[in-house]
Amino acid sequence: MKKQILESQSFGDGKRNYFIDFAKSKTNTEYISINRSDRQQDGTYKRQSVVIFEDDFEFLIESFSMLFTSVIYRKETQHKHASQQLPSRGIKSWQPEERPREKLVAGGAHALSDAELLATLIGSGTRKLTAVDLAQMILNSVGGKISGLSKLTYQKLIRFHGIGEAKAVSILSAVELLKRVEKTATLPFKLKVG
């Protein structure tokens, strides 16, 4: 016996079917096998497979979590923008008093939401998302809490569309600065960082 299927799920419409197996190899390594089977015109099936091994389960789960978080946030944002007729051409089209940088200058950093503060580090968004939208997606991926940023690595950050090397480095640097401030602070209280 080459493999032992421990759990299995399938779905499809007869023309295209998917099979997801959680299995154990003959060397006792657990893995997930995702198979797609497409019915051809001659009645035969063409099958494609992807195997994810036990060592990569954490990355698979993280990737799916980030993917679905991003999709849900994008849909909520599109709905919000459509229903409120918010500008879709970026932060520069917002009223000056609503823009994060201008709000910070006028009212201080405490006047900004967590997403707006993070957006000032990010600087710019994408064609479809403002920097604030992108910042909120990142925060949502860590439970919506700013302290969750300390859990993010460079590799996790650059998975977000719109976050490249420079933006990831800016975020990680800011988090590290906060950690160092916390270590050296002589305040009567401690800042919570993850």
Measure the CA–CA gap between 69 and 74, rounded to whole angstroms: 8
How much of the chain, in percent, has pLDDT values that exceed 90?
A: 21
pLDDT of residue 193: 55
Q: At residue 33, what are phi and psi to the nearest 5 degrees?
A: -115, 125
pTM: predicted TM-score of the whole model, two decimal places: 0.54
pLDDT digits (tens, 9 = 90+) for 31-46: 999 999 998 899 888 9
Across 92-106, 155-169, 176-190, least confident range: 176-190
- Take residue 42 and report the two structure tokens written for it: 């001659």
Predicted confidence band at 190 (pLDDT cuts at 50, 70, 90)? low
Q: Indicate whether 126 pLDDT > 80.
A: yes
pLDDT digits (tens, 9 = 90+) for 44-62: 889 999 988 888 887 777 7
In a 13 Å sphere around the CA of 94, the CA atoms on its Cβ side amount to 15
- Take residue 99 and report the two structure tokens written for it: 């823009």
Residues 6+ apart with CB under 8 A from 16: 36, 37, 38, 39
How much of the chain, in percent, has pLDDT values that exceed 70?
A: 87
pLDDT of residue 192: 59
pLDDT of residue 188: 58
- Take residue 149 and report the two structure tokens written for it: 């940023």
Across 23-27, 51-55, 68-72, 107-111, least confident range: 68-72
Long-range Cβ pairs for the range 109-117 (8 Å, 24+): 114/139, 114/146, 115/139, 117/146
Contact 138, 125 (CB under 8 A): no
Q: Which residue has the higher pLDDT, 85 or 28?
A: 28
Spatial CA neighbour of 128 closest among 157, 160, 171, 83: 160
Measure the CA–CA gap between 177 and 160, rounded to whole angstroms: 22
In a 13 Å sphere around the CA of 105, the CA atoms on its Cβ side amount to 8
Mean pLDDT of 171-188: 83
Q: At residue 57, what are phi and psi to the nearest 5 degrees?
A: -55, -40
Which residue, chain included where needed, has tokens 């809490």?
A: 145
Measure the CA–CA gap between 158 and 165, rounded to whole angstroms: 7
